[in-house]
Structure 1
Amino acid sequence: MSAFAPGSARLTCRALVVDREGRALHVPDAAGGPAVVPGARAGEGDRTLLAAAVRAVTGRTRLAPGDLCLTPSLLGAPVLVEATGPADYEFTFALYLAREPTEPLPGADWLPLDRLESAALRERLSAAGLDGRPKPDMLHRLRLSPGTRELILRHAAGPAVRTPLVPRPAKAPDAGGTELNIVGVHLYAEDGDGRVLLGLRHPDSAFAGSTWHFLAGHCERESAVACLVREAHEEAGLVIDPADVELAHVVHVLHGPSARPRLQLVFRAHRWQGTPSLREPDKCLDWRWWDADGLPEPLVPYARAAIDGIRTGRAYSEMGWCPA
């Protein structure tokens, strides 16, 4: 099967900036509609999806990167990830003001969080307990990357310290223009006992031989959900109705400085027909249901990260982007 054409994956990144009064920043809609949370397409110079969200704010307001900081509860993870079309995905990140603006932001409006149009976003924000006030004392409770630790400490130090929220990276060798991402789709299925379906990849597999992994594949010229439905039938004989599928977790993976980034979409299937069977024995040697507290070894690392994220209610993870 051919690899997914990554240029057709459109990633919109929004920055929901929360002030001390628990209000969210909105800016005029370019199409003339109601005010919206600032957003931009991920593109050249955006090392992460969070960087694109920050660029969306600074490009539409007088705020600078140093005026923003991460939230203690969410850090660099999005508060919501939604599929908005066959190859369209929207990531919403929550940020705090590191300091109150000295002057009103022209054209900007601040709306209470409970007035946000998206019910899913209101629910996620309520669960995160955002109050607009970073809490540096959480540092000792978290395993933070150096960059994340610097961001929280920067806020604690006060307005005299102004460093970029997300640094621009050096381009990969021979990179030209927007960095294209490979998109993979993965099936997250649980049986009646809450066990997760995983397959043991063939030793000769080009990726992760003799390793347990989700049922997975890359898109041909089709939507991500259509790809998942097709792969489930081709690989394991499962019949899935697209209406019974929802996006459960996203892992943005970088396997090395010269590797192409990969956006791994993990879809939960609520129902299906059939019993997992070995339809492609040259790719998979065994299908088995595993208790989430006793996952097999070796297991593809980003699959483990996705399972952990789904169990804890997190929508997004990153791997390989930041130094340990």
Structure 2
Amino acid sequence: MSTFAPGSAHLTCRALVVDREGRVLRLRDPAELPGARPEAGDHTLLEAALRAVTERTGLARGDLCLTPELLTTPVHVEAVGTGDYEFTFALYLTQDVPEPLAEADWLPVEQLNSGPLKAKLSALNLNGRPAPVNASAPVIPRPAKAPEAGGTELNIVGVHLYAEDDDGRVLLGLRHPDAAFAGDTWHFLAGHCERESAVACLVREAYEEAGLVIDAADLELAHVVHVLHGPSARPRMQLVFRARRLGGTPWLREPDKCLAWRWWDPDALPEPLVPYARTAIDGIRAGRTYSEMGWCPA
């Protein structure tokens, strides 16, 4: 996936919407997925895709639930011309919706798998996913309890560095294309806690990844994002710490994991950016301390 500076490319953001029977939503005229170019009111590329769905089909945003793929990156990115790109995001319905919809139809995957949508459907892997045919169950159910936890769900803890320079810009890194998570995507300096405290983990990761020396006393918890990446995955508690002081200048100590460190104006954040990182930045600027992502209503 490429990184686009504002004005450097024409982007169309599309939504691949799947209903509770595993059918895909497609517009009638033209015969394609709902899509729109980002506008001034769209804070993210996802916002543009959601707007396209609600405006063209009559579905409400509350009818849509983000899929696990959407919490990391779009499921498909395609160059459709010189300087033109399409970002396709995947969503599920959270409930049954009366038919017919305005300007759109629900079509079985089999009717679409041999056409232009084949690459997008392959990326989503609908054929390998059980169709959610039980109308009484949520599309993304609560994960199974971890048996070794005696009925308590174990959460993975991630730590993230929120650092600002003298101009109020936020430090973000461009992840390597081969990274296990969010390749070619901007993100906080981050890591997973081992057998250590969250603050100790962040102090270690800051030095290992970017050569930054941070005193634990200079870290304060600024925001928490509770993220669910999918029905079989453990939830993740993403802790974002603000650093009051930094020792050193960020440099690439692990080029196999990160391609660049850069300071970004929070009003002009890069795309693509890990969605929960954007949520955390927005929350910190608004004075909120907690957010949730991926938890669909029952």
| TM-score calculated relative to the size of structure 1 | 0.47
| In 1, Cα distance between equivalents of 2:228 and 2:222 | 20
Matched, 1:306 2:270: no
Counterpart among 247, 265, 280 of residue 239 in structure 2: 265
* Amino acid paired to 1:188: Y
Contact persistence 2:142–2:231 (CA under 8 A): no
| In 2, Cα distance between equivalents of 1:217 and 1:250 | 14
Q: How far did 1:259 drift?
A: 1.3
Contact persistence 1:184–1:263 (CA under 8 A): yes
| In 2, Cα distance between equivalents of 1:244 and 1:174 | 37
Q: How far did 1:313 drift?
A: 0.2
| In 2, Cα distance between equivalents of 1:170 and 1:200 | 32
RMSD: 2.2
* Amino acid paired to 2:204: R
| In 1, Cα distance between equivalents of 2:187 and 2:231 | 24
User: Which position in structure 1 is the counterpart of 2:210?
Assistant: 236
| In 2, Cα distance between equivalents of 1:246 and 1:174 | 32
User: Which position in structure 1 is the counterpart of 2:114?
Assistant: none
User: Which position in structure 1 is the counterpart of 2:224?
Assistant: 250
Cα deviation 1:199-223 (Å, max 9, x = unaligned): 0000000000000000000111111
| In 2, Cα distance between equivalents of 1:217 and 1:170 | 27
Cα deviation 1:16-56 (Å, max 9, x = unaligned): xxxxxxxxxxxxxxxxxxxxxxxxxxxxxxxxxxxxxxxxx
Contact persistence 1:211–1:300 (CA under 8 A): yes
Contact persistence 1:309–1:316 (CA under 8 A): yes
User: Which position in structure 1 is the counterpart of 2:293?
Assistant: 319
Task: Count residues with an aligned counterpart.
Answer: 161
Distance 1:254 1:211, change over 3 A: same
Q: How far did 1:302 drift?
A: 0.2
Q: How far did 1:323 drift?
A: 4.9
Q: How far did 1:272 drift?
A: 1.2
* Amino acid paired to 1:270: R
Unaligned runs of 5+ in 2: 1-59, 64-137
Matched, 1:201 2:175: yes
Distance 1:243 1:196, change over 3 A: same
Contact persistence 2:141–2:231 (CA under 8 A): no
| In 1, Cα distance between equivalents of 2:141 and 2:234 | 14
Contact persistence 1:234–1:279 (CA under 8 A): yes
Distance 1:145 1:313, change over 3 A: farther
Matched, 1:276 2:250: yes
Counterpart among 233, 255, 263 of residue 289 in structure 1: 263
User: Which position in structure 2 is the counterpart of 1:215?
Assistant: 189
| In 2, Cα distance between equivalents of 1:242 and 1:255 | 30
Q: How far did 1:170 drift?
A: 5.8
Contact persistence 1:182–1:260 (CA under 8 A): yes
| In 1, Cα distance between equivalents of 2:158 and 2:145 | 24
Unaligned runs of 5+ in 1: 1-142, 147-166
Contact persistence 1:145–1:323 (CA under 8 A): no
| In 1, Cα distance between equivalents of 2:201 and 2:145 | 30
Contact persistence 1:145–1:322 (CA under 8 A): no
Contact persistence 1:212–1:300 (CA under 8 A): yes
Contact persistence 2:159–2:192 (CA under 8 A): yes
| In 2, Cα distance between equivalents of 1:293 and 1:227 | 29
* Amino acid paired to 1:316: Y
User: Which position in structure 1 is the counterpart of 2:143?
Assistant: 172
